A = this chain, B = another copy of it.
Amino acid sequence: MLQIQSFAAGKWIAPSAKARPIYSAVTSDQIAQAGSALDTQAMLDHARNVGGPALRKLTFHDRARRLKTLALHLKAHKKPLYQLSYTTGATHADSQIDIDGGITTMLVFASKGRRELPDAHVYLDGELEQLSRNGTFMGQHICTPMLGAAVHINAYNFPVWGMLEKLAPTLLAGVPAIIKPATSTVHVAEAAFRIMVESEIFPEGSIQFIAGGSGGLLGQLNAQDSVAFTGSADTALMLRSSKHLLQNSVRFTAEQDSLNASILGPDATVGTPEFDLFIDEAYREITTKAGQKCTAIRRIIAPEALVNPVIEALSAKLDTVQIGDPAARETTMGALVSNAQRADVQARLEALSTEAKRVYGTNKAPLENGAFMSPQLLHCANPDAAKAIHEVEAFGPVSTIMPYRDLPHAAALANRGGGSLVASVITHDPSVASTLAMGIAANHGRLYFNDRDSMAEATGHGAPLPHMVHGGPGRAGGGEELGGIRGVMHYMQRTAIQGSPRILAAVGQTWLPGAPIVEAKQHPFRRTFEELELGESLLTDAREITLENIEHFAHFTGDTFYAHMDETAAKANPFFPGRVAHGYLLLSFAAGLFVEPNPGPVLANTGLNNLSFQKPVSAGDSIRARLTVKRKTKRTEDYGEVRWHVELTNQDTEMVATYELLTMVAYTQ
């Protein structure tokens, strides 16, 4: 029998005498026990005083690189996790969602961390705010890691994915985590956790693990800590009602019950690719993980005329399901996690049956041992009068089909769920999509559209992706996880910073207009990535723009727009005083003014951002450019990106154009 351990303040702690039993979903035999006596205050202290400071010493990119290493390490060591996963009733495909899906989620965060976060300790949130006329007092929002611990309370259904999807953004943010998985599958989570902690890829104190109950932990949290909960609405309500958490404004996010809907578009009649797709999606959501998915389709909403065809087609498809040993590759549906869970689903099925008639499935267990059950399809003829089908979540292979009259009715039915994680709409008609989106978006954390165009690549109604937010309003708990960098921000504090540009530059670890510059003694394009400093700046010579230049450029490029060619017509245009130089002429001349022709550290100009032409340039005007190093970001082993702020001014030092220039610069000469 497995002895599941906790990992607290750097030490493994064996189960205590009060440990709880864990049963195989397949044989119903006890296979493990878990539950340790823990000093939760010491765990918190360890996170706050050891893990947090060590994580905060690393930059976002440092942490992103370690996340990638950690994910690849898990991938290399994942095999034993599959064997454990089968004991929870999960098939091979279910286990892939859990194990490989979790690893992929971590890899996406590693990659987004490198691409979308700076190689620094402070994240700049949004744009500079001009708070004063002369620009001596400006605003910038920053995000910095919270100084406490992130407590993750995970559900039983995806012990690995559930752990990694919370852990990846937390570690990327620079915050240590204390993980408390659901006990019924804690043996899988512990095995995955052990691989991570023994790798020592993240500093000591970054991750701790509670097998069994969390004791007094929640009562010891403060406002620098946070709780991310996934599980039942009842438990969520109990936890979030804690006076201690409320009094201390402890961030609490919940992802709980959800009666997710899938709507078949009126255009998706029998014979269309969308009708078949709809059946496939519904089948997958009923059978995957035996329906124990917070995102599974609980309510199938179909046009009145299509209800019977959907029942027929879906029933035929459900006939093909192979229920059996989860470890066998031919099995397409495994067991529920436990007999207790099956009993719970059956009780809820009874509640639903007062409003809906079973049209597929039996009460008979498909196998003698284990928590297996047959998929169940219910039909509710009068969904307007019904209540339970919109409110009671049977967390198993159960779904209810109901008819709708028109799109507003379909939207009203979807919204009857009172807030869901996801709703899907299978339609090829963009106007159906946009009408339903406006009708139901406010009640849903995610809307999944699928049709013949996207079906080959679509990821499925039920799959939360690291790029997109996961969570939903109302019944779904009102929380939000994932969503790319948004998910990282959940573990950071946003702070509005006000001050002079010089001070903001120091706080934000980036140069900004108005902050002091350092006049380059050497052409900055001759300086390596390492040598260049933030604020290092070059003012070029001036170049006069002649009418000949303008005409020549026009004929050479073919850009003979009248504003450049015809004085009278140009004057009539509200933007121009008369004939003016081409914007691209100015950019090109500016490049000519600041280029350094010979090979050097600057390898390439890869792009340009936020180009704004601010004042027209007429013949006889002259322009010069000022380039200033704004931000540096390492990109490869050999070179990094340098972002330059460029200002073009005329002979009266009026601003002609501003832009951000992106270059790749070698680390060494």
Interface set of A (CB-CB < 8 Å, partner B):
121-122, 126, 129, 131-134, 136-137, 139, 141-142, 144-147, 222-224, 237, 240-241, 243, 246-251, 254, 418-419, 427, 430-431, 433-434, 437-438, 441-451, 453-454, 456-459, 465, 467-470, 473-478, 480, 483-484, 486, 492-500, 502-507, 509, 543, 552-553, 556-563, 565, 569, 572-576, 582-585, 587-589, 591-593, 595-599, 603-613, 638-639, 659, 664
Most B C-beta atoms less than 10 A away, residue of A133, A502, A572, A576: A502
**Which 7 pairs across A and B sit closest by C-beta, in order of nearness?**
A558-B592, A449-B499, A223-B474, A249-B478, A430-B506, A132-B457, A468-B496
CB distance from A612 to the nearest CB of B (A): 4
**Once the chains bind, are B475 and A569 in contact (CB under 8 Å)?**
no
> Distance in Å from the Cβ of A441 to the closest Cβ of chain B?
4
By the criterion CB–CB under 8 Å, are B611 and A609 in contact? yes
What residue in chain B is nearest A570 (Cβ atoms)?
B599
Centre residue among A442, A443, A483 by max chain B CB count within 10 A: A442
Residues of chain B contacted by A474 (CB below 8 angstroms): 222-224, 248-249
Instruction: Point out the residues of chain B lying under 8 angstroms from A606, CB to CB.
Output: 575, 612-613
B597 close to A457 (CB less than 8 A): no
Shortest beta-carbon distance from A519 to chain B in Å: 18
Q: A559 touching B575 by the CB < 8 A rule?
A: no
The docked-state distance in angstroms from the alpha carbon of A139 to that of B463 is 13
* A interface majority secondary structure: mixed
The answer to whether B447 and A497 touch across the interface, beta carbons within 8 angstroms, is yes
9 A–B pairs (Cβ distance < 8 Å), ordered by A: A129-B467, A430-B505, A448-B498, A454-B500, A458-B499, A552-B556, A565-B597, A585-B588, A607-B613
A133 to B494: give the CA distance in the assembly, Å: 34
B475 touching A249, Cβ below 8 Å: yes
Complexed CA–CA distance, A32 and B467 (Å)? 55
> Are A493's CB and B473's CB within 8 A?
yes
How far apart sit A431 and B450, CA to CA, in the bound complex (Å)?
Answer: 53
Question: Are A459 and B145 within 8 A (Cβ)?
Answer: no
Chain B residues, CB < 8 A from A559: 588, 591-592, 595
* Given contact pairs A495-B447, A583-B605, A592-B559, A507 touches B434 in the complex (Cβ within 8 A): yes
| A224 touches which of B240, B442, B509 (Cβ 8 Å) | B442
Min C-beta distance of A101 to chain B, whole Å? 14
Pairwise interchain contact B497-A449, C-beta atoms closer than 8 A: yes
Q: Kindly provide the distance from the CB of A456 to the nearest chain B CB, expressed in whole angstroms.
A: 7
- Min Cβ gap A658→B in Å is 9
A573 contacts across to B, CB distance below 8 A = 599, 603-604
Chain B residue nearest to A580 (CB atoms) is B604
Known contacts A223-B474, A574-B603; is-contact A134 B507 (Cβ 8 Å): no
| Contact, CB under 8 Å: B507 / A437 | yes
Contact present for B556 and A598 (CB under 8 Å): no
Closest B residue to A224 by beta carbon equals B442
Q: Which residues of B contact A451 (CB under 8 A)?
A: 499-500, 503
A441 touches which one: B495, B499, B502, B503 (CB < 8 A)?
A: B495
Given A560-B595, A576-B604, is A448 in contact with B499 using a C-beta cutoff of 8 Å? yes
The complex places the Cα of A474 from the Cα of B224 at a distance, in Å, of 8
Once A433-B507, A613-B605 are accepted as A-B contacts, the answer to whether A251 and B478 lie under 8 Å apart by CB is yes
How distant is A616 from chain B, measured CB to nearest CB, in Å?
9
**A492 vs B437: C-alpha distance in the bound complex, in angstroms?**
14
Chain B residues closer than 8 Å to A141, beta-carbon distance: 468-469, 483
Cα distance, A81 to B505, chains bound together (Å): 41
Q: Contacts A448-B499, A480-B494 known; list 5 others, CB within 8 Å.
A: A437-B497, A442-B495, A451-B500, A465-B498, A553-B556
Q: Determine the distance from Cα of A507 to Cα of B563 in the docked complex, in whole angstroms.
A: 38
**Are the C-beta atoms of B251 and A418 separated by less than 8 Å?**
no
Q: Which residues from B are CB-within-8-Å of A486?
A: 126
B494 A469 Cβ-Cβ under 8 A: yes
Residues on the B chain within 8 Å of A251, using CB: 478
Most buried by B among A145, A222, A243, A497: A497
Residue of B nearest to A145 (CB): B442
Given A442-B147, A447-B496, A499-B454: A223 and B418 within 8 A (CB)?
yes
The CA-CA distance from A371 to B524 in the complex, in Å, is 64
Distance in angstroms from A394 CB to nearest chain B CB is: 20
Residues of chain B within 8 A (CB-CB) of A476 are 249
A438 to chain B, nearest CB (A): 7
Q: Which residues of B contact A593 (CB under 8 A)?
A: 558
What CA separation (Å) do A539 and B250 show in the bound complex?
A: 55
Bound together, the chains give a CA A443 to CA B268 distance in angstroms of: 53
Contact of A456 among B136, B224, B483, B505 (CB under 8 A): B136
Q: Which residues on B sit within 8 Å (CB–CB) of A442? A: 144-147, 224, 492-493, 495
Residues of B close to A449: CB separation below 8 A = 497-500, 503-504, 507
Q: Which residues of B contact A638 (CB under 8 A)?
A: 574
Partner of A498, one of B447, B543, B599: B447
Is the beta-carbon distance between A468 and B584 smaller than 8 angstroms? no
